[in-house]
Structure 1
Amino acid sequence: MQTRLVTLRERPELGPQVAAWLWHAFWRENGESLETVLAVVGRSDAERGPPQSFVLLEDGAPAGTASLAAADLDERPDLTPWLAGVYVRPESRGRGHGARLVQAVEWAAAEGGAGTLWLYTGGEGALYRRLGWEAVERVPQDGRTVLLMRKALGG
């Protein structure tokens, strides 16, 4: 199986697939429209720094995505940039694609001059912990609690 990472800047025609994944996985339950997500994804085309979205291709077909965002958690507007929207389609999980996508965003953040990258997750962050991320705090968000994590970038 051959894999390759591309950006939405390189392959904007992948935007609707990425938006559909993100809407189903994260945004639908918050009442956001697919059109709203498509608009956000469509702006994820920076050459350097946020916002950028990455797509992992598996034998040429989109298999997962992750993004570098300037902001992601309304409760922490002081923090930037963010790893956001990590998603791997179910039939492609268990192959290291999530780690590869996370590492692509880490690299892009570092290339953009960031010293620290942030993320939040509704889970315990096992994938991120394995990749060297540190749990910082639990943050109340929309009636639930999320785990805020960070990773120091660079040397």
Structure 2
Amino acid sequence: MHIDYLANHPALIPPLAQRCADEWAHLYLAWGEGEAVEEFRTARTDGGIPATLAALDEHHALLGTVSVIEDDLPGFEHLNPWLATLLVLPEHRGRGVGAFLVREAERFAREAGHGEMYLFTEAADGLFRRMGWLEMAETTANGHEVRVFRRELKA
């Protein structure tokens, strides 16, 4: 398993954007497959933010993805950066891909000069707690209850 920028693999973007929209569009106003495609295609590939990372197998098949973005949740715009769009394809779940992607997103943000990182989730809080993320708030995203987490990024 290795990591690369998703934008370096344009053929993977449309089906992944559809999966992400299916998973999270209900949490955002005016965000869906088209917006996801645009975000993935225009993400930076130079170490800057926003960036979307892809976990790939030895044949360059997609295992999962994660993004590092400036802000992700109304009311919390003063906090950045955010871990977002963490998605492991169903056939690759339970093999450590999610934890690998979280660690890569943390490394990426740390190397970009950030000392902490944030995320929000509806359901995956167990993974983040096991990885040392601390819950800092409960709020709503487009009317849905979510939990906000913070992670200190140690050198």
Identify whether the pair has TM-score above 0.5, normalized to the shorter chain.
Answer: yes
What is the CA-CA distance between 1:17 and the residue it aligns to? 3.2
Is the CA contact 1:124–1:147 (under 8 Å) kept in the aligned structure 2? no
What's 2:129 paired with?
Answer: 129
What's 1:87 paired with?
Answer: 87
CA gap 1:106/1:97 in 2 versus in 1, 3 angstroms: same
What's 1:43 paired with?
Answer: 42
Which structure 2 residue ranges, 5 or more long, are not aligned? none
Residue type at the aligned position of 1:98? G
Matched, 1:109 2:109: yes
What is the CA-CA distance between 1:142 and the residue it aligns to? 1.8
What is the CA-CA distance between 1:149 and the residue it aligns to? 0.2
CA gap 1:124/1:37 in 2 versus in 1, 3 angstroms: closer
Give TM-score, length-normalised by structure 2.
0.89
Is the CA contact 2:52–2:68 (under 8 Å) kept in the aligned structure 1? yes
Deviates more, 1:87-96 or 1:133-142: 133-142
Is the CA contact 1:83–1:119 (under 8 Å) kept in the aligned structure 2? yes
Pairing partner for 2:15 from 17, 22, 32: 17
Consecutive aligned runs of 4 or more in structure 1 exceeding 4 Å deviation? 28-31
What is the CA-CA distance between 1:14 and the residue it aligns to? 2.6
Residue type at the aligned position of 2:43? S
Pairing partner for 2:25 from 14, 24, 27: 27
Give TM-score, length-normalised by structure 1.
0.89
Is the CA contact 2:6–2:54 (under 8 Å) kept in the aligned structure 1? yes
Identity across matched positions, percent: 30
Is the CA contact 1:56–1:101 (under 8 Å) kept in the aligned structure 2? yes
Three-state SS of the structure 1 residue aligned to 2:132 is coil
Is the CA contact 1:48–1:112 (under 8 Å) kept in the aligned structure 2? yes
Three-state SS of the structure 1 residue aligned to 2:74 is coil
Is the CA contact 2:116–2:150 (under 8 Å) kept in the aligned structure 1? yes
